[in-house]
């Protein structure tokens, strides 16, 4: 009698899955029915499921009404736009993104249209100098690559402007021109990342270790490792190393509105050590 009056096997399986009964598919229907009835109050589960289905139905109806309203508004706006077309004006920048100087001759500046529809202008001289010096033929702000068509246009504008500069298109396809520059840049980035990992380890030691153990770890392991990486970075590019050092000191201190916890004053010691490394002191 219990099996005949019980829900079908799909409903029983669905309820068993909701309450987390293990291996419910292997249980006979009558056993599963008794288990749900006695241990989980199956009537309550059925009421909860019915209430959930009702709520889902109401949400779908509400969502359908909102979509219908949005589609009607879109149709209305489209008809208004067709009847009264207004061309959208693109706002152009007045400051060169590379040198932060005012845009010079507007007829000889290079305009770059980005995929999102915005247009940015560059002073042709600063853009050519940037591309030839860095060997990085991308938009300096968004890192979007310049196509060969863009580079050919830059060369044409440079010739009209009377700039006696090498071709940026030829420089891009000259594989040997920037090999040494790229190798040096990659090496600097690798040293900066290695030193940055040591800085992260130092902060973790300060925040998690016992003060005595933290001092031993810093003096015996972390400080020598950091100094080794930083000496190589400073010998290769002192200006870049100083910028990284200043960034690491700010990272150790934390943001002004929520500084890093430092109960034993070790962060001040570490910042003093970083500053001494930047000044070339021997440790």
Name the strand (E) or helix (H) holding 113: strand 110-113
Mean pLDDT, the chain, integer: 84
**Are the C-beta atoms of 163 and 125 separated by less than 8 Å?**
yes
What pLDDT shows up at residue 76?
Answer: 62
Rounded Cα distance, 40 and 14, in Å: 13
Query: 35 pLDDT exceeds 80?
Result: no
> What is the token pair recorded at 81?
């736009």
At residue 180 the predicted structure's pLDDT band, cuts being 50, 70 and 90, is confident
Query: 107 pLDDT exceeds 70?
Result: yes
Query: 47 pLDDT exceeds 50?
Result: yes
**Are the C-beta atoms of 2 and 29 separated by less than 8 Å?**
no
Instruction: Give SS3 for 122.
Output: strand
Query: 184 pLDDT exceeds 80?
Result: yes
What pLDDT shows up at residue 210?
Answer: 87
Backbone angles phi, psi at 45, to 5 degrees: -65, -40
> What are 71-98's pLDDT values in tens digits?
776 666 655 544 555 656 667 889 999 9
Rounded Cα distance, 253 and 268, in Å: 8
Instruction: Give SS3 for 138.
Output: strand
> What are 201-212's pLDDT values in tens digits?
999 999 888 888
Name the strand (E) or helix (H) holding 42: helix 42-83
């Amino acid at each position: 009698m219990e099996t005949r009056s019980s829900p079908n096997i799909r409903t029983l399986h669905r309820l068993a899955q909701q309450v987390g009964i293990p291996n419910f598919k292997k249980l006979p229907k009558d056993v599963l029915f008794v288990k749900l009835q006695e241990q989980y109050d199956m009537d309550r589960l059925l009421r909860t499921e019915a209430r959930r289905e009702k709520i889902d139905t109401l949400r779908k109806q509400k969502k359908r009404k909102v979509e219908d309203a949005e589609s009607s508004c879109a149709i209305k706006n489209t008809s208004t736009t067709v009847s009264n077309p207004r061309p959208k004006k693109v706002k152009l920048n007045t400051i060169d993104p590379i040198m932060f100087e005012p845009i010079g001759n507007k007829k000889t500046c290079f305009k770059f249209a980005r995929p999102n529809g915005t247009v940015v202008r560059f002073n042709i001289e600063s853009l050519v100098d940037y591309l030839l010096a860095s060997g990085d033929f991308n938009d300096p702000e968004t890192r979007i690559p310049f196509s060969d068509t863009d580079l050919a246009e830059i060369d044409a504008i440079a010739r009209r402007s009377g700039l006696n500069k090498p071709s940026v298109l030829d420089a891009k396809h000259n594989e040997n021109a920037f090999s040494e520059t790229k190798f040096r840049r990659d090496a600097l980035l690798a040293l900066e990342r290695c030193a940055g990992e040591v800085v992260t380890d130092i902060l973790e030691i300060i925040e998690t270790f016992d003060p005595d153990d933290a001092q031993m770890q810093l003096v015996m392991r972390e400080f020598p490792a950091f100094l080794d990486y930083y000496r190589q970075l400073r010998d290769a590019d002192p200006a870049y190393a100083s910028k990284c050092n200043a960034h690491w000191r700010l990272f150790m201190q934390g943001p002004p509105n929520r500084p890093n916890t430092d109960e034993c004053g070790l962060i001040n010691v570490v910042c003093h050590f970083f500053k001494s490394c930047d000044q070339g002191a021997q440790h």
